[in-house]
A = this chain, B = another copy of it.
Amino acid sequence: MARPEPIRFRRSTLGEDVYETLKGLVLEHSLSPGDRINIDALAREFAVSPTPVREALARLEADGLVRKRPLVGYTVSPLLTRAEFEAMFEMRLLLECASTRWAAERADTARREAISGEAATTVASEEDDPDGWHAAFTVLDARFHDLIAEASGNELLRDGINRLHAHLHLHRRYFPYAQASATTEEHRRIAAAILAADPDAAEAAMRDHLSSARERHLAAFD
């Protein structure tokens, strides 16, 4: 807990900036799951008053990233249990498959090509910074799935997927896995099916991808 950066920001409102910053701290594990969050301490650290911090925490709670016990305080949400993780992947399977199918059915040409382009992109292999590499890969993965969700044309679906992605990201940071090559190949297959406007193939490819990803991640629970 040593981040004595005053952090001078002012994009629009302090509450907004504190929210984004805090979200980043949680997602990159500068704040660990289970940690208690001292509002006054955070306020001092950010050189702001507790008021915008409270507002940011209220929003983070709605995202499920922090938990609140009234008159006691906030804590960073604990890591998913195995059961919760399985439930999360059930939900992902549901949402992502639909997202992919609809993208294959409805997306305009520009979006289809954008998805293919994203799938073709690979992370520069900086061997000297495995941690940074993993982060870059995660960003790439999130963007790929979000592009598909956007192409599905259903913003509620997109929101739901992104909401899950935050928790997936959280889990990944704790149990990084290195099988990125398989993931990239699976992404290419999905993108190809979407480009070909083949909903069945696209959904099947996404289903395979998520099933494989699920297996890869489940190893962390052993």
The chain A residues found within 8 Å of chain B, CB to CB, are: 12-13, 15-16, 51, 54-55, 58-59, 61-63, 70-71, 84, 87-88, 90-91, 94-95, 98, 153-157, 160, 164
Contacts and interface: CB of A to CB of B under 8 A. Distances in A.
Nearest to A97: B94
Copies, count: 2
B13 A71 contact: yes
B157 A91 contact: yes
**A interface: dominant SS:** helix
A170 to B, nearest CB: 14
Contact of A164 (B54, B58, B156): B156
A91 B160 contact: yes
Given A59-B62, A90-B157, 18 more contacts: A12-B70, A12-B71, A13-B70, A55-B55, A58-B58, A58-B62, A59-B59, A62-B62, A84-B155, A87-B156, A90-B98, A90-B154, A91-B156, A94-B94, A94-B95, A94-B157, A156-B164, A160-B160
